[in-house]
Structure 1
Amino acid sequence: MIEAVIFDWAGTTVDYGSLAPVIAFKKAFKNAGISLTDDEIRRDMGMAKWDHIGKILELDDVKQQWKEMYSKLPTDDDRKKIYEDFQQSLLHYLREDTDLKTGVLKTFNYLKEYGIKVATTTGYTAEMMKIVQEKAADRGYTPELVVTSEDVDGAGRPSPAMIQFIMQKFNISDPKKIIKVGDTLVDIEEGQNAGVKTVGIVEGSSLMGLTQVEFDELNNEEQIAKRNEVKRKFESVNADFVIDSILDLVQIVEYLNESMDKKW
């Protein structure tokens, strides 16, 4: 039987479209005179933010812009300054606006009803998560365990360390009894590295990169095309399951439980 579900946060359970980190990254790099596209930001979304900034600074276009601006490549001090600006911007945004995605509470209550533990991993820092966690709790979403890379000596995703930490805390030895749910490819890699079942969420995901309004304004054919585009990305990294909405997770849990029952 499935004993635990581990959710990501932004783009999965809160912040439809994972907009907060995109806005904060753009602002921090703009302060340094560097322009970023959404695609450049989202390609490594889900990593610990310090690591993510390092990835962005390694992009050819960013290096070129930096050379033109400063006649040199970025240093560790430059990275630290961008990280500080990013943190300030993101913390401000999180205080202002952190909403649950549709279906989160219904799915969370289903898991609680059937005795399935709920935990989370994230690319956010503990300081960021304190804000998000409190706002989510005000709306009724209260995972038993909220883990950041700071709990595992900085080993952020795609390392399996945070999931392994959760397994120890929950006293679960078999990774196949755990589901990891996320909205980025890094989420799927994290789950695969830990040996757990992986589920990618399509709508409201960082991979889709649309706000709720933008998605709702698409016609039916356009919505289907967008969903299929994201599904192909998840399938390209061999996610075990891909679902449109968090509400569809119930079917995955029931399917896996039935499959385990048959094996016994």
Structure 2
Amino acid sequence: MIEAVIFDWAGTTVDYGSLAPVIAFKKAFKDAGIELSDEDIRQDMGMAKWDHIGKILELDDVKQQWEQKYSKEPNNDDREKIYADFQEALLRYLKESTELKSGVLKTFNYLKEYGIKVATTTGYTAEMMKIVQDKAAEAGYTPDLVITSEDVNGLGRPAPAMIQFIMKKFDIDDPTKIIKVGDTLVDIEEGQNANVKTVGIVEGSSLMGLTQVEFDELNTEEQITKRNEVKRSFESVNTDFVIDSIYDLVQIIEYLNESMDKKW
């Protein structure tokens, strides 16, 4: 039987489209004179933010812009300055926008009803998560454990350390009894590295990169095309299950429970 579900936050349970970090990254780099595209940002979304900034600074286009502006490559001091600016921008934005995605409370209540533990991992810092967690709690979403890389000596995703920490806290030895749910390929890689079942969410995901309004304004055919693009991305990394929205997670749990029952 499934004993625990581990959710990501932005793009999975809150912040449809995972917009907050994108806005903060763009502002921090723009203040440094560097223009970023959404694609530049989203390709490594889900990592710890310090690591993510390091990845962005390694991009060829970013290096070229930096050299043109400063006549040198970015160094660790530059990275620290951008990280500080990013944190400031994100903390400010999180206070304004951390709404739960549709279906989160219904799914959370189902999990509680059936005694399934709920935990979360994230690329956010503990300080960032305090804002998000408090706002989610006001809306009724209160996971049993909220873990950041700071709880595991800075070993952020895609390392399995946060999931392994959760397994110890929940006293669960068998990873097949755990589901990791996320909206980025880094989420899936984290789950795979911990040998748990992985579920990718399509709508409102960072991979899709659309706001709720933008998605709703698409016609039916366009929505199907967008969903399929995201599904192919998840399938390309062998995600165990891909669902349109969190509403579909219950079916996955029931299917896995039934499969486990048959084995016995």
Common fold, TM-score beyond 0.5? yes
- 1:85-124 alignment to 2 at 5 Å? 85-124=85-124
- Please state whether the residue corresponding to 2:95 is helix, strand or coil: helix
Q: TM-score, normalised by structure 2?
A: 1.00
Is 1:49 the counterpart of 2:49? The answer is yes
Structure 1 unpaired stretches of 5+: none
Amino acid paired to 1:222: E
Correspondence 1:147-162 to 2 at 5 A: 147-162=147-162
Deviations 1:145-191 (A, max 9, x none): 00000000000000000000000000000000000000000000000
Identical residues among aligned pairs (%): 85
How far apart in 2 are the matches of 1:93 and 1:254?
37
Cα distance between partner residues in 2 of 1:98 and 1:113? 25
Residue 216 (structure 1) shift: 0.1
Would you say how many aligned residue pairs link Structure 1 and Structure 2? 264
> For the residues of structure 2 that align with 1:97 and 1:54, how far apart are their CA atoms?
26
C-alpha separation in 2, matches of 1:63 and 1:252 = 43
Task: Report the 3-state secondary structure (helix = DSSP H, G, I; strand = E; otherwise coil) of the residue aligned with 2:191.
Answer: helix
Counterpart residue number, 2:241: 241
> Does residue 225 of structure 1 match 2:219?
no
Q: Could you list the per-position Cα deviations for residues 42-70 of structure 1 after superposition, in whole angstroms to 9, with x for gaps in the alignment?
A: 00000000000000000000000000000
The 3-state SS of whatever aligns with 1:181 is strand
The Cα shift of 1:85 comes to 0.2
Calculate the TM-score normalised by the size of structure 1: 1.00
How much has 1:96 moved relative to structure 2? 1.1
Alpha-carbon offset, residue 118 of structure 1: 0.1
Deviation string 1:58-103 (CA, Å, 9 cap, x unpaired) is 0000000000000000010000000000000000000111100000
Partner residue, 1:200: 200
Q: In 1, Cα distance between the equivalents of 2:35 and 2:135? A: 31
What is the root-mean-square deviation in Å for CA atoms of aligned residues? 0.2
Secondary structure of the equivalent of 1:179?
A: strand
Structure 1 runs, 4 residues or longer, greater than 6 Å off: none
CA displacement 1:18-47 (0-9 Å, x = unmatched): 000000000000000000000000000000
User: SS of the residue aligned with 1:96?
Assistant: coil
C-alpha separation between the residues in 2 aligned to 1:44 and 1:245?
Answer: 22
